[in-house]
Structure 1
Amino acid sequence: MTDLSPATITSDAAADQPDDGRAKRNVWVLAAAQGLGGLATMNIFATAALAGAQLAPDARWATLPVSTYIIGTALTTYPASMFMQRYGRRAGFMLGALGGLIGSLLAAYAILRGDFALFCLATFIAGSHQAFAQYYRFAATDVASPGFAPKAVSYVLAGALVGALFGPLIINHTRDLFAPVLFAGNYAATAALLAVSMGVLAFIDLPKPQAERPAATPFGALLRRKRLLVAMLAGMMAYGMMNLLMTATPLAMVGCGLSPDQASWVIQWHVLAMFAPSFFTGALIVRYGAERIIAIGLLLNDAAALAGMTG
């Protein structure tokens, strides 16, 4: 059966001998990029709906900038894979960071202009960064041994804890950078962070793409794989619930009389809970299997929804 994991599709890692020393160096680079990118993503979820409420002609459109960000990510994910298959991981990751940088600068400009449509376009462009960044975890396994690969994925994801720990500080201290216009400073700061991320990603050491790649399995055949369908459905449910929680929370809190600063701290705890388990989920997957860990995650998602319903 053909292995269609992103690691084997986009690089010649399978042809390289595992090198955990090299893999660990890449983990440091990718974890740093994940942390910087996590700051950018946290900023979107903490401020885009609030900025949208400030710019939108009708309050019902306030969350549209978050939706366009997610749509931008979704529409770029497959092209991102194809680009990296042709030009390599490093080029793709740096292009993604550049897309996020451009989108962030455009978002700051849109807020200063008071242009809601332009702000939505900006978050759509910024979503391309997240599309490429989702492949960081797979790149961590490109030269890793089978025993180290799950841990490498977890360590890279744990880099997002940087965003959780420092995100509220950056968000709260840059919100008024262009006072009296709020939130433009958040996106200018995000652009600077993504510029640093591009510099970090220049140090990644990964195999070059294969000149001749194995024939891809037809899409219809992929959909007949039950394990793949289960993974897709679990991802859809988990990601959908996460987006609902992160989008609605800042607006709901500010609507209840709390401050944007307090809202950003709540988002911090959400992000911490998302990524802190990454330090040990790799070991749990090795011991208990991916299916059981996914099931536990979905049950925790349900618990979060029930807690939210209590008000």
Structure 2
Amino acid sequence: MMTEPEFDKANNAGRNIGLLAITQATGGSSQAIIMAVGALTAANLAPDKSMATIPTTAMIIGLALMAGPATKIIYALGRKNGFLIGATLGVVAGICAATAVAFSSFVLFALALSIVGMGGAFTQQYRFAIADSVPDDMKARAISLVLLGGVAAGFLGPRLSYLAKDWLGGVEFAGSFLVISILSVVAIVMLSQTRLAPIVKPKEGDAKGRSAMELIKLPEINIPIITGIVSYALMTFVMVAAPLAMVHVCGHTAEQATTTIQWHIIAMFAPSLVTGNIINKIGAHATVAIGLILILGTALINLNGVSVLHFDIALILLGVGWNFGFIGSTTLLSKAYRPEEASTAQGLNEPLVFGSMAVASISSGVLLNTLGWQSINVLVLPIVTATLALLAWGDYRQRQLRANS
């Protein structure tokens, strides 16, 4: 029977949580910069304003395409080495993006943002790395604390994008993307100091674990994957369109849109202070349900007004809803597979979750320009309702299994 290599999870937990939280802040800030000014920058570079969300979508596509390979690289080279590769991609991407803006190249800008997404695919694995590097009773709390680094990203990303926008010879927003390279260098320094649990690799004669096809058929695997998909896809669906809707549809200023996204990103990660405790008290199923209900509330608020206050409140609810939905889903999934199945389960989850993000981002831009801001929010309602019903069935099924065991 395969066992994990000798590793003192308890003594290394604090160090790893702290370092990964800082690195989460740097990686999150890079993506926050793009969410805050990516579409606004692209609108100035694109041949048509309807193409403004394409570079941001390229980032998400890059993340989706690299999600599976990133998992394989991490499990082949080790967690630290894999994460260092991801941070290095961020250094390259920031320089390319700044160059693209300086030379008004829409194509290069989209390509650079896709590389940011590729680096982000490694960042997304921090949550699994910390879950596998702490004792079982610390998993939910550790995942939450690492994602808490996103609070700093919420403050740093949008604000740095605004402060650095004229760094490079007055070319608006070019300096904003150079910040991504600087943040990635900081990430490299932090990651080099981590002491993460070694990868569990099967030896000859050891159990291989269930295949991806076997795992995806299990409700305890497919339900958290689906709730993770819905939480992330709907958050992306609304968030990507929001700055464009504020500036180009509702007439608000770019600074107001940037501030709204800043509060949204803070709301995505600030609840991590308590999300782990909430999961331990009421369970992951209930926590995910609360998150989905908050996302539902986002759509209802957006359907009732387009003032800056409406956008602010709705995007804050959207951030908190994502936090509860995503951390709860990750916790459910991390407890559903065996150690030898980690690579298979994570390799299955990541492309599906982040592939759905890419679809949501593309759909968001198209719908905003064809059917309008209201249509985006109307579509949220049936998707959340159906997912809540599936989640309730999954919770009922697990309770029945426990009662009969």
What do residues 28-65 of structure 1 show as CA deviations (whole Å, max 9, x unaligned)? 10000001111101001111111110100111111001
Question: Which structure 2 segments of 5+ residues have no match?
Answer: 307-405
Query: Hey, what does 1:305 align to over in structure 2?
Result: 299
Confirm or deny: 8 A CA contact 2:42 2:52 kept in the other structure.
Answer: yes
1:262 aligned to 2:252? no
Question: Which structure 1 segments of 5+ residues have no match?
Answer: 3-7
Query: Hey, what does 1:246 align to over in structure 2?
Result: 239
Structure 2 residue matching 1:217: 3-state secondary structure: coil
Query: Hey, what does 1:5 align to over in structure 2?
Result: none
Confirm or deny: 8 A CA contact 1:23 1:142 kept in the other structure.
Answer: no
Alignment of 1:9-158 (within 5 A): 14-16=4-6, 18-158=8-148
Distance 1:299 1:121, change over 3 A: same
Structure 2 residue matching 1:143: 3-state secondary structure: coil
Task: Tell me the distance in 2 between the aligned counterparts of 1:174 and 1:83.
Answer: 34
Distance 1:292 1:33, change over 3 A: same
Task: Tell me the distance in 2 between the aligned counterparts of 1:209 and 1:240.
Answer: 29
The residue type paired with residue 49 of structure 1 is A
The residue type paired with residue 252 of structure 1 is A
Confirm or deny: 8 A CA contact 2:7 2:197 kept in the other structure.
Answer: no
Structure 2 residue matching 1:160: 3-state secondary structure: helix
Task: Tell me the distance in 1 between the aligned counterparts of 2:19 and 2:140.
Answer: 17
Task: Tell me the distance in 2 between the aligned counterparts of 1:186 and 1:165.
Answer: 14
What do residues 184-227 of structure 1 show as CA deviations (whole Å, max 9, x unaligned)? 11110111111111111100102333453651422221121112
What do residues 231-259 of structure 1 show as CA deviations (whole Å, max 9, x unaligned)? 12212211111112221122122223333
Confirm or deny: 8 A CA contact 1:171 1:264 kept in the other structure.
Answer: no
Structure 1 residue matching 2:136: 3-state secondary structure: coil
**How many residue pairs align between the two structures?**
301
Query: Hey, what does 2:385 align to over in structure 1?
Result: none
- TM-score normalised according to structure 2 size: 0.71
Task: Tell me the distance in 2 between the aligned counterparts of 1:171 and 1:125.
Answer: 18
Structure 1 stretches of 4+ with a deviation exceeding 6 A read none
Confirm or deny: 8 A CA contact 1:154 1:279 kept in the other structure.
Answer: yes
Query: Hey, what does 1:173 align to over in structure 2?
Result: 163
Query: Hey, what does 1:282 align to over in structure 2?
Result: 276
Query: Hey, what does 1:234 align to over in structure 2?
Result: 227
What do residues 246-304 of structure 1 show as CA deviations (whole Å, max 9, x unaligned)? 21122122223333222221111111211111111111112222111111101101111
Q: Which has the higher contact order (CA 8 A, sep 6+)?
A: 1
Confirm or deny: 8 A CA contact 1:150 1:285 kept in the other structure.
Answer: yes
Distance 1:18 1:299, change over 3 A: farther
Query: Hey, what does 2:329 align to over in structure 1?
Result: none
Task: Tell me the distance in 2 between the aligned counterparts of 1:305 and 1:231.
Answer: 22
Confirm or deny: 8 A CA contact 1:104 1:126 kept in the other structure.
Answer: yes
What do residues 60-104 of structure 1 show as CA deviations (whole Å, max 9, x unaligned)? 111001111101001111111100111101011111111122111
Task: Tell me the distance in 2 between the aligned counterparts of 1:242 and 1:127.
Answer: 17
Confirm or deny: 8 A CA contact 1:73 1:129 kept in the other structure.
Answer: yes
- TM-score normalised according to structure 1 size: 0.92
Structure 2 residue matching 1:171: 3-state secondary structure: helix
Structure 2 residue matching 1:148: 3-state secondary structure: helix
Identical positions, percent: 35
Q: What's the CA shift for 1:18?
A: 4.8
